[in-house]
Amino acid sequence: MRARALPSSSATLPEASFLFSELSSYLKREEVSELQNAYLFSQSAHSGQFRKSGEPYISHPLAVASILGKLRLDTQTLTAALLHDVMEDTHISKAEISDRFGSPVAELVDGVSKLDKIEFQTHADAQAENFRKMLLAMARDVRVILIKLADRLHNMRTLEAMRPEKRRRIARETMEIYAPIANRLGLNNIYQELQDLSFHYLFPTRYRVLANATKAARGNRREMVRMILDAIKQRLKVAGLDAEVSGREKQLYSIYKKMVEKHLTFSEVLDIYGFRVIVKDVPSCYVALGALHSLYNPIPGKFKDYIAIPKANGYQSLHSTLWGPYGTPIEVQIRTPEMHRIAEAGVASHWLYKSSDADLNDLHMKTHQWLQSLLETLSDSTDSLEFLEHLKVDLFPGEVYVFTPQGKILALPKESTAVDFAYAVHTDIGDCCVAAKINGENAPLRTVLRSGDRVEIVTASHAKPNPAWLNYVVTGKARSHIRRFLKTMQYEESAKLGERLLNQALGALRVDPQTIGAAQWEKLARDSGAKSKKDLLADLGLGKHLPAVVARRLATPGVSVDGTNGANDVITILGTEGMAVQFAKCCRPIPGDSILGFIKKDQGLVIHIHDCPAVSKIKGNPDNWLDVAWGKDITRHFEVSVKLMVANERGVLARVAAAIAEAGSNIDNVGMEGDGVYTTMTFMLQVRNRHHLAQVMRSLRRISEVAKISRMKG
């Protein structure tokens, strides 16, 4: 829908005239006219508002539109850029924007707007929810994030007007979120400027010292740079290549990061200059690489082929670091004009070049897949802060390139494991993975992957995610799916345990659970802050409510169970209850031990040995304690700690391990501490029950070097 012209509340700013003049170079006259209407509307809405710097507020939307104009974005995006703050800072509604400028523009403006009208506990919660909403809108239309990045870039350029603590907070947020998003979308110039500006405000003194050092070095190295440029041009000409060659100074933050990571002084960072070679096609890239390797010796291990294996953001180039004159390392990037366009504008190159070539289509497909994975992570995350945690991990560019058995390349963050790979292939593969083969060899799931690894995941239909995986997975997708599964599993198990606990408490009151009506359950759940009967039972299982208290509230006079209290008085422990029942780490109870159950908030039922030293400290309210007993025919294994004092002689560990194995037990962990004559060994063993443990200990006592053996409790 076309916008109607509004009367100007003040004269058109010079910046506006310059912007519309620039936009007329690629937009039609009626499109420029539509943008002028949007400018007048925004100027009227922001009338009387000023930025912290004292400038009229309208200067900010103009600057944002100008940044996007350089990317030659479409009219809808530029209109939304001019209007992006009117919903947040003025009385203008989304409906009014939709009426005047069309629904797509209104959706873009809404996606960029903050959630100021919602109350949050902390600033972190508010920011996390803002990112959540913005990325939802971004997944629907990537132009939302392009506007937000331009908005953030102009705010960073004018951050000096803010208070120091606010400058640091905004700069940190930019460094952690917005700069990586710009990089992930391939907006290289915006990415680098956001990084440098963030560096400037986070570490002003370091920035100033480094800027001065770079300025001084620039004069000293100017002649050498010119000499290298001339040598490269001459060698490429001899090779018959028509190439565009340029030298560039590395950004300050890139130099600073290298100094920190490699513990270098500035004088030791010699490659502060890079050289870019642009040739006509892909074969010419490799010819140019050979020519330059014959000019200067390549540094081993410093070559990367991003043409054969593009980065996740679509970036393609050949990178090689060479020994230049006087032993100075120089970095060279070789690419085609099409690769250069994508390297500079990334996903925005769709609008910039109106191109339909396969490279751009592939880039947009990858971007779409990434956005969809964000949506998937978003739906799996229970709160905004958890989603933001996953997002920060996934925003750092994939630096490990691994292959599926079919030869497909997957890009993963550094330190990714076989479990991360499994979830990257498919959620179902991750949920059911049990082992991995890396380059044809069996490997643990926690194995950290390296570029070039060929990974095959072994699955089993009965397998489930393991809580221990959370200790080593790094991708947001893997982490969110594991957490979701564990929360669902814990909920189901807690509800079952809660029902058993409540039935026991009702039995003590002589109340038959079957006689309690749905209305009674509904009222109790509502009064307890739960959404349903099942939620209330899950809360009982997690220890958020006491079974005795809930039972008394449910008990109805006149409704009783005939006879005396029966089996419901004691909770039977089978060892298969899952996360709802936990065995205390302090005493590690096993079948055959006399046990007590302790209701612990948010952890459910915790089982202790009756004489555990920790029991006397935490008994507290007797209502928290339950009578529990082991069930019959328990087949699973339980962990138990055993301590041995042995003579410090050769081969004793092997004999002890063999005796444990012969007794049918497995060793989970072993620790050793020696004082010369004797060594103390601590074993974490797996046993079925007390009888099995006694067999293991008898087997160990037969070893002549074993001086003392005991089970560890507390």
Long-range contact pairs involving 486-492 (C-beta distance under 8 Å, separation at least 24): 486/579, 487/382, 489/464, 489/578, 489/579, 490/542, 490/578, 490/579, 490/580, 491/538
CA gap 36, 19 in Å, rounded: 10
The arrangement of strands across the sheet holding 638-647 comes to 666-674, 678-687, 638-647, 706-711
Write down the number of H helices and E strands in the chain. Answer: 28, 19
Strand, coil or helix: 600: strand
- Nearest-5° Cα angle at 154, 152 to 159: 90
Gap between the Cα atoms of 501 and 600, Å rounded: 13
Q: What 3-state DSSP class applies to 517?
A: coil
Buried b (16+ CB within 10 A) or exposed e, 573-601: bebebbbbbebbebbbbbbbbebbbbbee
Alpha helices in 381-475 (DSSP H): 384-395, 418-425, 427-432
Contact 608, 596 (CB under 8 A): yes
Q: Which of 89, 96, 173, 431 is catalytic?
A: 89
110 in active site: no
| Residue 476 structure tokens | 């947001």
Q: Is residue 268 helix, strand or coil?
A: helix
Among residues 48, 120, 155, the alpha carbon closest in space to that of 91 is found at 48
Distance CA 550, CA 524 (A): 8
The conformation of residue 530, written as its DSSP 8-state character, comes to -
Structural contact between residues 295 and 245, judged by C-beta atoms closer than 8 angstroms: no
Q: Beta-carbon neighbour count of residue 390 at 10 Å?
A: 21
Give me the residues paired with residue 573 across strands. 630
Which one-letter DSSP state was computed for residue 177? I
Contact 114, 130 (CB under 8 A): yes
- Say whether 353 sits in a helix, a strand or coil: helix
Strand 604-609 relative to strand 581-583, pairing: parallel
Considering the candidates 15, 22, 74, 88, report the single residue annotated as catalytic: 88
In three-state secondary structure terms, 554 is: helix
Buried b vs exposed e over 655-680: b needs ≥16 C-beta within 10 Å?
bbeebbeebebeeeeeeeeeeeeebe
Q: What is the DSSP string of 283-330?
A: HHHHHHHHHHHHHSPEEEEEEEETTTS--TT----EEEEEE-GGG-EE
89 belongs to the catalytic site: yes
List the structure tokens of 104: 């797509």
Per the listing, tokens 């050289």 go with 275
Q: Judging by DSSP bridges, how do beta strands 571-573 and 625-630 pair with one another?
A: parallel
Residue 710, amino acid? S
What positions carry a catalytic annotation? 88-89
